[in-house]
Amino acid sequence: MFLSSTLVVALFTLLGESSASALPLSKRWDTTLCTADTSGVPIPDADNFQLPLENLRQDMCWDLCVGDQATCTTKTKICYDFHGPNLIFTYNAISGYTYTEADIWLGLSAPVSATPTPQYTTSNGFCTISGDQTTVSCNIPYDTIVPGGALLDVLAEMCPNGDREGYVFYLYTNAQLTGASGAVSATGRLSCTDYPACTSYYPNTYWVLTYRCTKCPYTPPPPPPPPTTDPELPRP
């Protein structure tokens, strides 16, 4: 299973070219995948996630609203990271609640439905509830987002622009929990139209996340071994 590989450099369309050209991106990276085989190869950069609908602010987490989405008075965080060849989402604990289900819909363009059918769920094994049911971890392999194949091919798909911006992810995140009053649903917070004031919100149920790619440090090849010489034979 993989999603459409059509590149969506949507920062230009979401916020205009002037905003996109002034991204405050820094040259840092998670080097989990950096080996001799990936020396100088761009990989998804865990230190440069941005939220295009909220003035391109940088953050590693998004709010998960429990119950009433409009007020979002009860909430926790969904945190995200790149680790190895995977995009990881962690549903954090909420005091007084336990998780019974969680799922994620991820696309490279906006969903046509307000409640799209998720590809990554606790039912199909992509998401795992912790033993005490207080957290959930969702593991999304790169080769389910872009076409699969050898690691270098998958990294090239995830970083189609090389050492710069990658894809824009559209996300619909949902969970089911149990609290003192019974079962309750939770969904990702609506995006603010005027962050950080947040006096109004976009009507769409999805939120938007983008990242950049950074080249792995260059690893020079090992020096060639010294030439071998035959030991001098004793004279007769």
Scanning the structure block, which residue is given the tokens 């050898």?
Answer: 150
The answer to the question of residue 124 being in a domain is yes
pLDDT at 1 over 50: no
Q: Please write the tens of the pLDDT for every residue from 124-183.
A: 999 999 999 999 999 999 999 999 899 999 999 999 999 999 999 999 999 999 999 999
Domain that holds residue 176: 11-18+30-215
Tokens coding 189: 């917070």
- CA distances to 118, 165, 202 from 56, rounded to whole Å, are 25, 13, 15
Task: List the one residue out of 86, 90, 99, 79 whose CA is nearest residue 186.
Answer: 99
The answer to the question of residue 176 being in a domain is yes
* 3-state secondary structure labels for all residues of 73-131: CCEEEEEEEEECCEEEEEECCCCCCEEEEEEEEEECCCCCCCCCCCCEECCCCCEEECC
Tokens coding 1: 């299973």
Q: Which helix (H) or strand (E) holds 62?
A: strand 61-66
pLDDT at 105 over 60: yes
The answer to the question of residue 35 being in a domain is yes
What is residue 29's predicted lDDT score, i.e. its pLDDT? 55
Q: What is the mean pLDDT of residues 102-114?
A: 96
The answer to the question of residue 230 being in a domain is no
Residue type (1 letter), 180: A
Cα torsion for 18, 20, 25, 31, to the nearest 10°?
-160
The answer to the question of residue 144 being in a domain is yes
DSSP3 helix / strand / coil % (the chain, rounded to 5): 10, 35, 55
Q: Please write the tens of the pLDDT for every residue from 7-30.
A: 334 343 444 333 333 344 444 556
CA dist., res. 130 & res. 75, Å (int) = 19
Q: Percent of the chain, pLDDT > 70?
A: 83
The answer to the question of residue 177 being in a domain is yes
Tokens coding 210: 């983008």
The answer to the question of residue 136 being in a domain is yes
The answer to the question of residue 231 being in a domain is no
- Start-to-end Cα distance in the chain: 74
Q: b/e per residue, 164-175, with b = 16+ CB within 10 A?
A: ebbbbbbbbbbb
Report the number of distinct structural domains present in the chain. Answer: 1
Residue-averaged pLDDT of the chain:
87
